[in-house]
Structure 1
Amino acid sequence: MKIFRIVALSSVFILGLNSCKKEPENKWKVEVKNPAEKVEIIDISKKFYDQNFPLTQFKSEFPWFQGTVSDADFGKRRADQEEIKIYKEAIAKIDEKKLQTDLQDLFSHIKYYFPAFKSPKVYLFSSALQMVQDPIFYDPKGNLLFVDVTGFMGEGNPNYKGLEMYFQKSMNPNNIVPKIAQIFAEGFVKESPDHQKFIDMIILNGKIMILKDAFLPTYPDYLKMNYTQKQYEWTVANEANIWNYFVENNIIFGDDHRLEDRFIAPGPFSKFYTEIDNESSPQVGIFTGWQICKAYLNQKPDIKLQDFLNTDATVIFNQSGYKPKL
């Protein structure tokens, strides 16, 4: 017998629930009086593929972009029609003005909680599909943020043929800002090498998710999780069942390294080793850690964000009172 509920709600029922349910107050919607510096976005590939833009000038302006590629090969790539085609298709899907506005809002919220934060210089570029699985890179030394536009061409794009569908689900333009928020959130959360139990891992990720709540107060939760709406609904509907599974199988304080692969690492689904696996959403451990952290903050409404981030995972769990109801 299946212990998990499958989400199969009609649109009428969903609308009915939404109309009756009072939305909780969003504590992360704050008035930002001191916004971050104006975000500057530079499209490197626009100049790279422009044959009228001298290569010497390009190399002078972006000396780090060529890397170890020879001048001859670098010149050939500029004229590669297939690469140019991919770049043009990818950049056409990006609303740069909206991206600039959204990043301005993101960086302003980061600065609100971490006043020393400085907006990075943002570079868009095309890797010609070579970096699509890891399309965002941040250089803290130079405070430079790089976004590979070919990593956000949309789920099911023909250029992604052969790439696992679970990767593609978060390769849409609306995933760019949440993924950038993830990178900066990770930088504010310290991982302790001597705390490697499952509870430590899910609370670590829960703290990162709380920061994404703070940095992206108007974004839907499913995007913060890199989920589809359907995946998010499944996880919410099965929150208590997931928790019961963890408890009944003594997983919470387990230290089996395989738990990370089963419930935290990206994948097509979570690995409960039951008949429900293929229908489940991936990374349910992250979702659970997020809910525990939310419960803890509800118990400690006056705690400062930095103090919360410094709180031990076991303390957060013990004081959260987390126990979702079936």
Structure 2
Amino acid sequence: MKFFRYYLIFLMAFLTVNSCQKEPKDLWKTEIEGQKENITITDISKEYFDSSTSTEAFKQKYPWFQGTVSDADFDLRRKDAEEIKIYKEAISKIDRNKLKNELSELFARVKHYFPQFNSPKVYLFSSSLQMAKDPIFLQPYENFLFIDVTGFMGENNSHYEGMEHYYQTSMNPQNIVPKVSQIIAENLVPADAEHRKFIDMLIYNGKIMLLQDAFLPNFPDYLKINYTPKQYEWATANEANVWNFFVENNLIFSDEARLEGRFIAPAPFSKFYTAIDNESSPQIGIFTGWQICRNFFEKNPDTRMADFLNMNASEIFNQSEYKPKN
């Protein structure tokens, strides 16, 4: 099988040559017209842990923050020394000015492609690690964006002891904006519940990643896909090998349910069920779908973004003429 035949060749090249990453064309590095929006970032937990702010005053200002927690428990948690310690360490790692500028740039670019987009109100908060694995969520109706700062305390932070390491690799402050961009993109890409073939999964995730290119043209690719630099290098070096594996094993148009878990879902590595699994990059199906969508735009650079997002997987795949070479 070609996948195995060429692997050693690629491994030798990887060890002796710097990464020969395929640079996408600068389709997205356009100047944004008009001034960027002057967004505000509110640190809810700063007020939450401030003893000079009464619980009643806090609840009136943020009536949705308490949830179903009783008043007595709410008061106790506001004074919890360990929770205060975690919050202070987490917030100390965030460069607020940098974050504000990058989010302002991100929102401006989203609005450039989607004029109906309204920049959300941004709230920082501490979940005391309870939401660290999934630290960003968007509430579309209120147009609120929440960022849990305990999800970005840095890889191998002592507070993450016991957590799977493959989650930790994207839990650094530099991952905040790409993850925000990903959440926005996921809300813009239409879901196709009827088609669950592997190609549908590849293209659906490829659309999200293509939006990452449009929204974050000045960010490195490895951050857009939540990879480490080494993982991104493996994915680019083995792009053709992975594609050959998919083709030779008749996976592209397969509806086998396990393929999502093997190549799309978060994991320490992708599951080819071969000796190289432990060396592989995780979620390689997302990377592959991304390259297919990039190829589509290289072939069809004048396609409107809205039209592209509404195209079905087969159309995009066929028009991409995707055939990575060794």
Q: With the length of structure 1 as denominator, give the TM-score of the two structures.
A: 0.95
What residue ranges of structure 2 are gaps of 5+ in the alignment?
none
Contact 1:239–1:288, Cα closer than 8 Å, also in 2 = yes
Corresponding residue of 1:169: 169
CA, structure 1 residues 64+130, in 2 after alignment: closer, same or farther (shift >3 Å)? same
| Structure 2: distance between partners of 1:307 and 1:35 | 27
Contact 2:25–2:298, Cα closer than 8 Å, also in 1 = no
**Matching of residue 249 in structure 1 with residue 249 in structure 2:** yes
| Structure 2: distance between partners of 1:278 and 1:289 | 21
* Alignment coverage as a number of residue pairs: 321
Which structure 2 residues correspond to residues 1-326 of structure 1 after superposition, within 5 A?
3-4=6-7, 5-6=10-11, 9=14, 13-14=17-18, 25-326=25-326
CA, structure 1 residues 73+8, in 2 after alignment: closer, same or farther (shift >3 Å)? farther
CA, structure 1 residues 8+68, in 2 after alignment: closer, same or farther (shift >3 Å)? farther
| Structure 2: distance between partners of 1:133 and 1:149 | 11
| Structure 2: distance between partners of 1:24 and 1:250 | 28
| Structure 2: distance between partners of 1:152 and 1:49 | 19
The one-letter code of the counterpart of 2:218 is T
SS at match of 2:124: strand
| Structure 2: distance between partners of 1:93 and 1:106 | 21
| Structure 1: distance between partners of 2:165 and 2:13 | 22
Contact 1:199–1:252, Cα closer than 8 Å, also in 2 = yes
| Structure 2: distance between partners of 1:123 and 1:37 | 16
Deviation at 1:37, TM superposition (A): 3.0
Q: With the length of structure 2 as denominator, give the TM-score of the two structures.
A: 0.95
Deviation at 1:188, TM superposition (A): 1.1
| Structure 2: distance between partners of 1:300 and 1:258 | 33
Instruction: String of CA shifts for 1:139-166, please: whole Å, max 9, x gaps.
Output: 1010000000000000000000000000
The one-letter code of the counterpart of 1:14 is N
| Structure 2: distance between partners of 1:82 and 1:70 | 20
Deviation at 1:40, TM superposition (A): 1.2
SS at match of 1:147: strand
Instruction: String of CA shifts for 1:205-231, please: whole Å, max 9, x gaps.
Output: 001101010000100000001000000
SS at match of 2:18: helix
Deviation at 1:34, TM superposition (A): 2.9
SS at match of 2:31: coil
Instruction: String of CA shifts for 1:250-286, please: whole Å, max 9, x gaps.
Output: 0000000100000000100000000000110001100
Deviation at 1:118, TM superposition (A): 0.7
Contact 1:240–1:324, Cα closer than 8 Å, also in 2 = yes
| Structure 2: distance between partners of 1:2 and 1:261 | 25
CA, structure 1 residues 246+9, in 2 after alignment: closer, same or farther (shift >3 Å)? closer
| Structure 2: distance between partners of 1:167 and 1:223 | 13
The one-letter code of the counterpart of 2:18 is I
SS at match of 2:11: coil
Contact 2:24–2:294, Cα closer than 8 Å, also in 1 = no
| Structure 2: distance between partners of 1:2 and 1:58 | 63
CA, structure 1 residues 315+25, in 2 after alignment: closer, same or farther (shift >3 Å)? closer
Task: Kindly report the root-mean-square deviation, in angstroms, between the aligned alpha carbons of the 2 structures.
Answer: 1.7
